[in-house]
Amino acid sequence: MKLHFTDEQNMMRKMVQDFAKTEIEPVIEKMEQGEFPRAILDKMGQLGLMGIPIPEEYGGAGMDFTSYIIAIHELSKVSATVGVILSVHTSVGTNPILYYGNEQQKQHYVPKLASGEYLGAFCLTEPGSGSDAASLKTRAVLKGNHYVLNGSKVFITNGGEADVYIVFASTSPAAGSKGISAFIVEKGTKGFIIGKDEHKMGLSGSRTVQITLEDCLVPAENLLGEEGHGFKIALGNLDVGRIGIAAQSLGIAEAALEKSVEYAAGRHQFCKPISAQQGIGFKLADMATSVEASKLLLYQAASLRQKGIPCGKEASMAKLFASRTAMDVSTEAIQVFGGYGYTKEYPVERYFRDAKICEIYEGTSEIQRMVISKYLTS
Ligand code: CAA
């Protein structure tokens, strides 16, 4: 199977590669020190990258889904931090409003998100509910023309920096997953308290915060979809989000592979390049094969999504395989670089630290296997 990309998609790839090289590469070190790449996001907004698959009538670039996935793939090859910020902003920060919002909500929020004026985030996970997302405890009670939200959320990517948050809370705890509702909450809303920014192993320039909802007053018109439809909104958007994380994983793996091939060709031991030593040559061959397989799974899921064909199984397979590949290939890259790979002089240790989270967020690898096996057996 040969992947085929349209001229428009090839142009997107080239544009993002150039942007990543000239604009992102020079600020990697600052992001590694913890700086959030606000200026980069502003430039991405000007280039239309903050709303790639969003229809033009809602202020987006109106491009296809594969172009969006190409952008995350290429951005993540240089910076997985920028890759995840864009993926969360688009697939779980903006899309829920585009797909489930009423016309007024869409007109009000989507153009601002698609232009990059607003940044989006997604608040599902809680201290006691990660993989078992339906067991969330945050409550929303309708009082007059406001919902009053109480609870806490953790590991919120883009939290604190984002302007708009899709927040999940139970309006009817007795109904379990069918009692969960989704709300659009703006930063600055009374009782919406941004807490601690996690000190993470990788993705150092991205924000991952705790959020407390303390009698948080959300206007009733900010209910997204109907009461009780929140769980389907969450999972439906995560299906798409997982393709984005697969693209991020592939970017990391491909970068680790390319750096390894280059290094192994230039590093001589026992009078020849280490790439000519079978131990390293075979390693590179395995790394390249996994990267290629990830690419096929990723772009297959993306093309199904683009055609509107249900792709929950393929999205989970792509995320499962590509995130494992990112971890394996970045681990092997450090081995190829030897002692140098363990230092911050080379980027492979950063790829290794950034790769691990891809096996955890937007559904752990164990959850992806649950989803895939359910498709196979039901
Ligand atoms: N799309 C739409 N609806 C879906 C769905 C999907 N993909 N999967 C399930 N549903 C529906 C089901 O049809 C069912 O509804 P009906 O009863 O009407 O048929 C309902 O949801 C409940 O389904 P299940 O009984 O299968 O749900 P469950 O409680 O067993 O959980 C799960 C299923 C797959 C394990 C789910 O809880 C899950 O995906 N967990 C992982 C959570 C996750 O991915 N968190 C990521 C947080 S966000 C993040 O990480 C972003 C970031 O910062 C990068």
CA–centroid distance, 31 to ligand 1, in Å, is 33
Kindly report the protein residue whose alpha carbon is nearest to atom 50 of ligand 1.
Answer: 362
Task: Give residue 298's pLDDT.
Answer: 98
pLDDT tens digit sequence for 59-69: 999 999 999 99
Q: What ligand 1 atom has the least distance to the C-alpha of 312? A: 7
Question: Which amino acid would we find at residue 113?
Answer: L
Task: Give residue 363's pLDDT.
Answer: 97
Spatial distance between the Cα atoms of 162 and 45, rounded to a whole number of angstroms: 14
Mean pLDDT (the chain, rounded): 97
Q: Give the pTM.
A: 0.97
> What amino acid positions are annotated as catalytic residues?
362
CA–centroid distance, 43 to ligand 1, in Å, is 34
CA–centroid distance, 106 to ligand 1, in Å, is 24
CA–centroid distance, 366 to ligand 1, in Å, is 13
pLDDT tens digit sequence for 209-248: 999 999 999 999 999 999 999 999 999 999 999 999 999 9
> To test ligand 1's pocket by mutation, which of 123, 208, 232, 374 has the most ligand atoms within 8 angstroms of CB?
232
For the stretch 332-338, contacts whose Cβ atoms lie closer than 8 Å and that sit 24 or more positions apart, written own/partner, are 332/256, 332/260, 332/283, 332/286, 332/287, 333/256, 333/257, 333/259, 333/260, 333/287, 335/283, 336/260, 336/263, 336/264, 336/274, 336/280, 336/283, 336/284, 337/259, 337/260, 337/263
Residue 149, strand partner residues: 140, 216
Alpha-carbon torsion (110, 112, 117, 119), positive or negative:
negative
> To test ligand 1's pocket by mutation, which of 177, 210, 249, 367 has the most ligand atoms within 8 angstroms of CB?
177
Residue 367 beta carbon below 6 angstroms from any ligand 1 atom = yes
pLDDT tens digit sequence for 9-41: 999 999 999 999 999 999 999 999 999 999 999
Task: Give residue 206's pLDDT.
Answer: 98
Q: Does the pLDDT of residue 323 top 80, yes or no?
A: yes
Residue 371 beta carbon below 6 angstroms from any ligand 1 atom = yes
Kindly report the protein residue whose alpha carbon is nearest to atom 48 of ligand 1.
Answer: 362
pLDDT tens digit sequence for 345-358: 999 999 999 999 99
Exposure letters 312-341 (e unless 16+ CB within 10 A, then b): bbbbbbbbbbbbbbbbbbbbbbbebbeeeb
Residue 359 beta carbon below 6 angstroms from any ligand 1 atom = no
Residue 170 beta carbon below 6 angstroms from any ligand 1 atom = no
Task: Give residue 28's pLDDT.
Answer: 98
For the stretch 141-146, contacts whose Cβ atoms lie closer than 8 Å and that sit 24 or more positions apart, written own/partner, are 141/171, 142/171, 142/220, 145/219, 145/220, 146/217, 146/218, 146/219, 146/220
CA–centroid distance, 278 to ligand 1, in Å, is 45
Residue 80 beta carbon below 6 angstroms from any ligand 1 atom = no
In this structure, what DSSP letter does residue 207 have?
-
Q: Does the pLDDT of residue 1 top 80, yes or no?
A: no
Task: Give residue 2's pLDDT.
Answer: 76
CA–centroid distance, 173 to ligand 1, in Å, is 17
Spatial distance between the Cα atoms of 316 and 244, rounded to a whole number of angstroms: 11
Residue 37 beta carbon below 6 angstroms from any ligand 1 atom = no
Residue 232 beta carbon below 6 angstroms from any ligand 1 atom = yes
ipTM of the complex: 0.96
Spatial distance between the Cα atoms of 10 and 221, rounded to a whole number of angstroms: 41
